[in-house]
Structure 1
């Protein structure tokens, strides 16, 4: 049987000085340690507006503590996220001397409590007093009493600056951690999808071989042809995975001047055409890249176009300074705007692609885009009246 926990009692005795407020800054709870550090009782605090209990010093026109705290609390209400304040001076009225304000320094963190709908229901105000610490730093000076105040002010300014630097560093670390987690999630999904794609041809290959071995007198030629196709499929996937690994971890290959028009002519000469190919190629459109990798990029685009085109593929090479532009256009069904980013995701294949080529790996277009990025370019899908229009933009060679 689970014990019943009195969370109110637990909260009151927490070591950290904590205060709970409504979004209107009305105090609803406080820990014992908060009462001790501020010299207040619960009767002094509960049900009262925070800034009525702790107003700014009216005799100090430069007092910024209340204004900064209010701004922090309003940021929490607006964003629904925790806000860490830099070290602040916030003088408070002495509990036994009305009208007398004591110099106090604080580290403060304000955290929201969110409803299931994401609205801020409560504000948790955590504070840590560092007045004695700063005073001790001031007293450690070597210039006697006369120098204590100046040294304290100098030390306080330095601590302020360090606190702000720490806060900025914490924010950068939060963003970095979030980006790392997102990268890890993408990597896990990629490994899972790659394993799934590798398993299919392996399963087919094993099944065919087991059947052939179990049935005597079976004609092995059809089995071997099917096994060869599965082995080629496995080889293609592994080759693509290795290429992506090289693109992810290695610096770009050595560059050389590459004439895009000549690249297109050479690659078309090596391929066995399955559909008509029309070209419009401007001469002397030169970029700096690896000829081998640009050939891989172009072949991936042509393979994709052949898979989806109806009758004709068009290849265009031109300039749009400061860029060289290569376009591969098919007259197939096209790609919906909502799917144009998805086709460049690794192992992501649209339904039409799976129907047209069940053996495709879903890595050709991602590899093509990675190659483009490696040479300071961009590969994307643009609008076209019919079919899909892939556009490669690379910096023109100087």
Structure 2
């Protein structure tokens, strides 16, 4: 059959089961005939409307969370670009013809992404399997007319529902851990500041998801002797409170070391030796730069971290990648780390960041670095605060990244 002759609109409308298309902003873009019929909504009542306006949570049921779980699932799909299958669960669905009248329904959902050529999620295929009768059948499984297969299916779906409720309780516990970890992380990271007369902007964006509190950190400190500042970022492998605690130890150690070290290489060398005795610091990365504001030079060293970007006033972007070494505590026998020096002119901008800004699954890091350079060039005349906001807006996925992101921008 000629592919051009296939009427895909007709195919979509004829798909068995409830299928809708949602935008990443949770707005209905289309819905097939089964979705309209089984949900009791016409196409005009769906398309162009926000899902919570069409299917609000039941205000009479404080435990109702079906639609909030749908929202969380779609956010995961947008953030990861991967399919998300939800456990069967209860939804209270309002009768559109009888406002305030709610019907108990049980649905099993799958949300799958539609990606554009750049890998960005443009639509979500939202498929619902109606299992209300199977769930209700468990209550009458000994009645007449119930086959053994129906009894088994009802039991399986009930067990899936119980598992979903257990997962929800675990999610709530993990959410509390996330709140504590974020509070700890915020307390240990330096506040927004200006160092001497230098204009600096700092940003930290936590990862999407209850467990994705990681160990990204940044620091901007005044150095002893001369008109100099030190700017650093780092990343601890792992999640949650443990990673946040390790992050605090490493950041504090590097801050103290930088104030007395001869240069960034020596500071990272000492930090690597310290990381050797800190549980959870294995494979942590860091990059630090010493900026001499009088000589207009940047001396830098990297321990397995993405290279800082130096944006020159003429629009040229220089990635500082000539002094890269393995991550902290990567060598059993420590060796002196390399460092390099580059010059800058007034009005240049130094940008340090963690890998959450540039790395994407199934994508070469050079693509992310090129994307960063393009954004920096286009916004290079913005003040640091506006530049930081523009970079995050353009480089982070709309629903948030799956890894933490730390960003430091200093106008030189």
Q: Provide the TM-score with structure 1 as the length reference.
A: 0.38
> Structure with the greater relative contact order (CA < 8 A, sep ≥ 6): 1 or 2?
2
Structure with higher helix content: 1
Larger Rg: 1
